[in-house]
Structure 1
C-alpha cells in the first residue's frame, strides 16, 4: 500500500512535479541576487531620515517600500508622470530601475499558475499536494528500507538506482516537504480559504487646515529604524484629510501629517504573521540562504524521478510486481519475499503461479510491506527469505524482525518460512532462521517447519513444494528454471600464473572489455559501469549455474580482471585456468555495492588471502587520490603465489598503497594473515581509531580468524566488531 501511495502520484504527476521543482529551484536564486545587489541602509538610519532624502530628490513622493532583502523602492509622480526606482538609502538617490526582471516574472507565472490564471493555480496546487504525498510516503519507505527511523542515516546498499534514490531522498525530504506544504498554504490563502486577512487600523482623517510636517518632525517616523520598515505611504496633496500610513515590524499606524500624532494603529493577526512566515519560507525573500538550500534540494527531484522510474522498471522486470496479483485484503495466501539481488523473486513467481493454478488466491509483496492488519482473509503466510552477508536481512527487509517481535497478537493464519542461501557459508539461511524464531517467540503458529534452498537449487525448491502440497492437501509441482542474465562474450587478452610449484594453480586473468552500444553507455548497463569488488558471473560449459568471481578492475581501467584458483574437481575454475589468450567465456556482471570502499579520505584496512586479493588489488589500483590504504595479505610462499607482487610494489612506490604486510604459511615465520594482524595490533588499532573501514576477502576460515583478531583489538578500545558493522565500516566477501 505504501509503495502504491508513493508510486502513483510520482507517475501521474511526474511532469507537473518536475515543473514545480525546477522553476522553484530557478526562482530560489533571485532573492539571493536581490539581497546581494540591494544597497543596504546604514546602521541607525531612521524612516524619517530616509523619507527626507528621497522626498528631496522626488517631491511628488507617494510611497517607500522595503523588501525583506533590504531593497528599498520608491514611487512618485513628477509633473503628472509616474516614476519609480530602487533607492540607495545612504544618499536617497536612485540606484537602479525598479522594473522586475522579465525572466523572474516569466518563471513566477510558470511556477504559480502555468500561465493559466486561477485554473493554473489549482493545477499547481495539485502538483504541490502530489509532492507532499511523495515526500511523506518516500520518507516512510526510506525508514522501512533502513530498518526504522533510528537507522535513518545508516549506510545504504543494493543496486545503484536505489542507493542514489535513498541518499537524495534523505538529503531533500525536509526541503521538499516544507516547499510543498507552504505552497498549499499560499494557494489556500489566495482563494480565501484561510482567515489571514490583514487587520487594518481604524479609519482616521487628518486635522484640517494644518500644513504637513517634515518627516523628521514626526516622532514615530524618527523613532522607527529603516530595518523595521515595511511600507510608508505619503498623504495625497489633493486630499487634505489623507494621512501617513506606516507599516513596520510591529504593526500598522495612521499618522496625522499636521500634528505627527498616531491616529490609530493595529497589530498583525496571528494568521497574518503565520502567512508572512510561510511566504518567507516558500519564496526565500527575507531568508536568501534558506531559499538557496531549498532550491538545491528541489534540484534533486529530476534525479529522484529518474532513479525512481529505473527502480520501478527493474521491479516490473524482476517480478516484484507479479501479473494477476490479488489484493492484500482479499487473498488467502500471503507470499512475502526478502531478496537482496532479486533472484528470490524468480522462485516467488514460480510458487505464486503454481498456487494460483491450484485455485489459491495469492498476494505477493516484499517482506518490507508486512502488516498483519492488511490481510483480512489470510489463511496462510509464506515467507521466502534470502540471507545477506553474515546472517543479515536483505536491505529491503531490515526492521521486519523488530516488527514481528513487537507484535502483541500474532496473525491467526499460520506461517511457513523458506530460506535461500549457500551451505558453504557458516551463516546458511540465518535470516530465515531468525524470522522463524521471532515468529515462535510471539506465538505465531507454524504451517510447516523451516525449509532451505541451497545455492538456488531447483531440486531443493521442488522438494519443499511437495511438502507444502502435502500440508495444503493437493499436489504442488514447483518446476523452477533459474533465470540467468544474458551473458556477453569476453576474450582473454593476458594471464599470469602462480602456484604451480605448490600444486595449487592460480591465475590472474585479464579480459578485454566487450564492445558497448550507445544505449549501454548512456544507461550504464552491461559492462559500461562496474567497480572493483563487483562480481563477474561466469557460465561454465555444461552447466546452467553461474559461478561468481570478485572483480579486480573497474570500467575505468579498460579491462575485466579476476583471480581464479583451480579447485579440485571444480568445473568452472578448471575451465578458466585452462584458458589461453584469445579464448572466450560467457559472463555477466552483478553489482556488489556492499563490498566497496566508502567515500572519503579515512583509511582503508584491506585483508585478503590467496585469490581473495583480487578486489583488494582493484581498490588499490583505483586509489588515484592517494587515500591511506593498508593491505594485509596472506599466501603460501612468496615464490609461488604472491599474487600482484609487482603491481603492489609499483602502487606503493606511487602512493596508492600506504602500507603492505604479508604472511606466508609455508615460508618465513609460517603464519597466517590473521596472525600478522594480531602481531601488528598497535598499527591496526591506530587505523581503527582514525575511523578506518575494513574490507576482508578470502576463505571462510581466514575471515573467521581475522574477525577474532580485530575483535581483540577493538575490545581494547571499548568497541566491537558489531559496532563497526553497524557503522558500515566492516564488510566481507568470503568463499
Structure 2
C-alpha cells in the first residue's frame, strides 16, 4: 500500500515535479546573489537612512529593504521615474535597480505556469504531491534499510534503485521542507488559510498641525532600526493628510511628519509571523544559505522523477508471466510468492516452468491470495523475500493472518525458500516466521528452510536439485537476474598457489581489453579504454562459456589502478573456476560489476578488524592496499599450508613494513598443530575486546561455514562486554561477504 501511495502520485505528477524542481533550483540562487551586494551597517536607524537618501534623491517616493539587505530607492526626477540600489552608509547610488526579466519569467512559471488561477491551483496540487512523495518515500527508505537507526547504511538493489534511493536520502529533508511550505503558501493564495495580510493599520483621521520636521528628527523613524525595515513610503507633497507609511518586520503604521509620532500602529499577528517565516523558509529570502541548500535539494526532484519512473517500469517488466498456470483445484503443486519489488517472481517462474516440465500441474499466486481453499494443496512451495527489518514484503503481508484457522489436508506438505541479504541483522526473518507458522499450523515440512543470499543463482540451482530429489524428478533451475552489460577484459598476469593441492588457487589481474584486430574503425575509435568504476569489495560477475548463470568473485582492487583483480580457488567440477584457471595472459573474458557498498571499511580512525580464510583474503587485501591514511588495521587470515598457499604473502609483508597493515595473524590448518582462524581470534580475545570496545569495525570474508564459526567466536569474545555480533550488525560495525 505504501509503495502504491508513493508510485501513483509520482507517475501522475512527474512532469510538473520536474518543472517545479528545476525552476525552484534557479530561483534559489537569487537570494544569494542579492546578498553579495548587500551590507547593512549596525546601529543605523530608518531616520538616518531617510536623511541620507533625501540628500541625493530629493524626489524619493519609497525606500525598500530587501530580505537580503539591499536598499532600493524609488524616485522621480524631471518627470521620469527610476529605481536605484543605494549605499545605506551614505545614501549614494550604487547601481540602477533593474529586476531581471528572466528571473521574473521563471518566478511566474514556478508559481502559476503562466495560467493565472488555474496554474496556481496546479502548482499547489504539485506541492501537495511532492509532500506526499517525500513522506511516503522517507518511510519506504526507512523500511528498506531496516529502521531509522540504519538510515545511513549502504544501499543495495540495481543501479536505478540505488541511485533513486541515494539521491532521495540526500534531498528528502529539503524537498519535504519545500513541499510543506509551498503547500501552505498555496493554501493561503486561495484563502484556505489566513496569511495575516488583511490586518492593515487604520489610516489616521487627523495629524498634528505645523510644518513637517526633517526625516532625521522624526521620533518613530529614529526608534526603528534599519535591520527591521521593510518599506518606507514618503508623503507626497500637496496630499493631505501627508504621512509616512512605515512597514517593519514587527508591524505596520503611519508617522506624523509634523511631530514624528507613530499613528495607527498595528503589530503583526501570530498568523502573519507564521506566514512570513514559512515564506522565508520556502524562498530563502533573508536566509540565502538555506535557499542554496533547498535549491540543491530541488535539483534532486527531476532526478527522482526520472529514476522513479525507471524503477517503476523495471518493476512492471519484472511482473510474472506464467505459462500454463493451472487452476488451484486441479494443481499438483502450489507456489506462493512474497515479493516487494517483483524480483522473487523471476525465481518463482523458473520453479513453475521446471515443475511443469517434470509433468506436474502447477498453480502460482501471491502469498496474499492464501485462503482456506489452499488447505487442500498437496505440495506447497513458498518463495518469499523479507522487507526492511524482518517485515513481510508487499505481496505477503496478509499471509500469516490468512493462515490462522486453515487446516491442511492429510497429505499436505510445504517447502519454504527465503530470499534476503546477509548484511541485514534479520536476514530472511519473514521466511523463518512463515516456516515456523506453517509447521505450528499442522503442515508437514518436506524440506528444511533454505535461504538465498542476494539472489544467488548458484544457491537457487542447488536448492532445485534438492527439490528434484524430493519429487523424484530431475529439476534444473537456472534463473539469472538481469545484470548490467558486460565489459571485455584481458588477462594481464596470474599468480598461482598450491599447484600440488587438489584445489589450487590463482590470483588473476585483468585490464581493459583492446578492440579485436578485425573490429571496424568505429569500434576501435569508441572502444572503452579504461575499466568501469568499482571498488575493492565489489563483485565481478563472470559468465563462463556454456552457462547462462554468472559466478561472482570479490574484487581485490579498485578501478583507480586500472586493474581488476580476483582470487579464485579451483572447485572440483566447477565450471567457472575451471574456466578461469585455464586462462593464460592475453586471453579475454566478459564480466560485469555488481556494486557491494555494504562491504566496506567505515571512514574514520576507528580500528578495522579484517577476518578471512582462503580466497576471502582478496577484498581484505584490497582494503589494506587502500589504507594510505595508515589507520589501525588488523588482519586475521586462515590458509592451508604456508609453503604452498600463503596468498598475498609478499604484499602483506610490505604492508606491514609501510604501516598500512598494523598486525597480521595467520592460521594454517594443514600443518602440525594446525589451527583455524576462529582459534586465532579466541587466542587474541583480550586484544579483540579492546579493539571492538574502542569502536572497531569487523569485516568477514570467506565461506559460510567459516563465517558461522567466526560469529560464534566473536560472540564468546564479546560476552564480558555485554555485546554480541547481532548488536554490532545493527550498528553497521559487523559486515560479511560470504559464499
Distance 1:421 1:192 in 2: 52
CA-CA distance at 1:179 after TM superposition: 0.8
Distance 1:177 1:490 in 2: 45
Query: Which residue of structure 1 aligns with residue 94 of structure 2?
Result: 95
Once the two structures are superposed, residues 212-240 of structure 1 have per-residue CA deviations (whole angstroms, 9 ceiling, x without a partner) of 12234433222222222222222211213
Q: TM-score, normalised by structure 1?
A: 0.80
SS at match of 2:460: coil
Contact 2:617 2:701 in 1 (8 A): yes
1:33-48 maps to which residues of 2 (within 5 A)? Answer: 33-43=33-43, 45-48=44-47
Q: Does 1:195 align with 2:206?
A: no
SS at match of 1:564: strand
CA-CA distance at 1:485 after TM superposition: 5.7
Q: TM-score, normalised by structure 2?
A: 0.80
Contact 1:452 1:460 in 2 (8 A): no
Distance 2:76 2:589 in 1: 85
Q: How many residues align?
A: 696
Task: Give the alignment partner of residue 665 of structure 2, picking from 643, 661, 664.
Answer: 661
Query: Which residue of structure 1 aligns with residue 480 of structure 2?
Result: 483
1:79-158 maps to which residues of 2 (within 5 A)? Answer: 79-149=78-148, 151-158=150-157
Task: Give the alignment partner of residue 735 of structure 2, picking from 702, 718, 731.
Answer: 731
Contact 2:390 2:428 in 1 (8 A): no
Query: Which residue of structure 1 aligns with residue 223 of structure 2?
Result: 223
Once the two structures are superposed, residues 661-705 of structure 1 have per-residue CA deviations (whole angstroms, 9 ceiling, x without a partner) of 323334587433333333444544444344332211223443334
Contact 2:85 2:93 in 1 (8 A): yes
Query: Which residue of structure 2 aligns with residue 390 of structure 1?
Result: none
Q: Summarize the Cα distance change of 1:252–1:593 in structure 2 as closer, same or farther, 3 Å threshold.
A: closer
Contact 1:380 1:447 in 2 (8 A): no
SS at match of 1:619: helix
SS at match of 1:608: strand
Q: Does 1:638 align with 2:642?
A: yes
Q: Summarize the Cα distance change of 1:667–1:107 in structure 2 as closer, same or farther, 3 Å threshold.
A: same
Distance 2:419 2:79 in 1: 87
Contact 1:148 1:399 in 2 (8 A): no
1:493-508 maps to which residues of 2 (within 5 A)? Answer: 493-501=492-500, 503-508=502-507
SS at match of 1:528: coil
Distance 1:339 1:459 in 2: 22
Once the two structures are superposed, residues 71-103 of structure 1 have per-residue CA deviations (whole angstroms, 9 ceiling, x without a partner) of 222222234332332232222222333222344
Query: Which residue of structure 1 aligns with residue 555 of structure 2?
Result: 551
CA-CA distance at 1:711 after TM superposition: 2.9
Distance 1:688 1:514 in 2: 43
CA-CA distance at 1:41 after TM superposition: 2.9
CA-CA distance at 1:637 after TM superposition: 2.9
Farther off after superposition, 4-13 or 176-185: 4-13
Contact 1:540 1:575 in 2 (8 A): yes
Query: Which residue of structure 2 aligns with residue 329 of structure 1?
Result: none
Contact 1:334 1:380 in 2 (8 A): no
SS at match of 1:207: coil
CA-CA distance at 1:435 after TM superposition: 1.8
1:542-621 maps to which residues of 2 (within 5 A)? Answer: 546-581=550-585, 589-600=593-604, 602-621=606-625
Q: Summarize the Cα distance change of 1:436–1:361 in structure 2 as closer, same or farther, 3 Å threshold.
A: closer
Once the two structures are superposed, residues 598-624 of structure 1 have per-residue CA deviations (whole angstroms, 9 ceiling, x without a partner) of 455544321122222122223334445
Distance 1:412 1:112 in 2: 54
Contact 2:608 2:697 in 1 (8 A): yes
CA-CA distance at 1:273 after TM superposition: 2.5
Query: Which residue of structure 2 aligns with residue 167 of structure 1?
Result: 166
Query: Which residue of structure 2 aligns with residue 509 of structure 1?
Result: 508
CA-CA distance at 1:726 after TM superposition: 0.7
Q: Summarize the Cα distance change of 1:222–1:8 in structure 2 as closer, same or farther, 3 Å threshold.
A: same
CA-CA distance at 1:484 after TM superposition: 6.4
1:322-337 maps to which residues of 2 (within 5 A)? Answer: 335-337=336-338
Distance 2:501 2:445 in 1: 49
Distance 1:359 1:543 in 2: 28
Q: Summarize the Cα distance change of 1:489–1:97 in structure 2 as closer, same or farther, 3 Å threshold.
A: closer
Q: Summarize the Cα distance change of 1:123–1:542 in structure 2 as closer, same or farther, 3 Å threshold.
A: closer
Where structure 1 has 5 or more consecutive residues not aligned to the other structure, the ranges are: 327-332, 387-392, 468-475
1:26-425 maps to which residues of 2 (within 5 A)? Answer: 26-43=26-43, 45-149=44-148, 151-196=150-195, 197-207=197-207, 210-317=210-317, 319-320=318-319, 335-338=336-339, 344-350=344-350, 364=366, 384-385=382-383, 394=386, 398-400=390-392, 414=406, 418-420=416-418
Q: Summarize the Cα distance change of 1:289–1:544 in structure 2 as closer, same or farther, 3 Å threshold.
A: closer
Q: Summarize the Cα distance change of 1:573–1:354 in structure 2 as closer, same or farther, 3 Å threshold.
A: closer
Where structure 2 has 5 or more consecutive residues not aligned to the other structure, the ranges are: 326-333, 409-413, 452-458
Distance 1:88 1:27 in 2: 25
Once the two structures are superposed, residues 286-315 of structure 1 have per-residue CA deviations (whole angstroms, 9 ceiling, x without a partner) of 222222221222222344334434433443
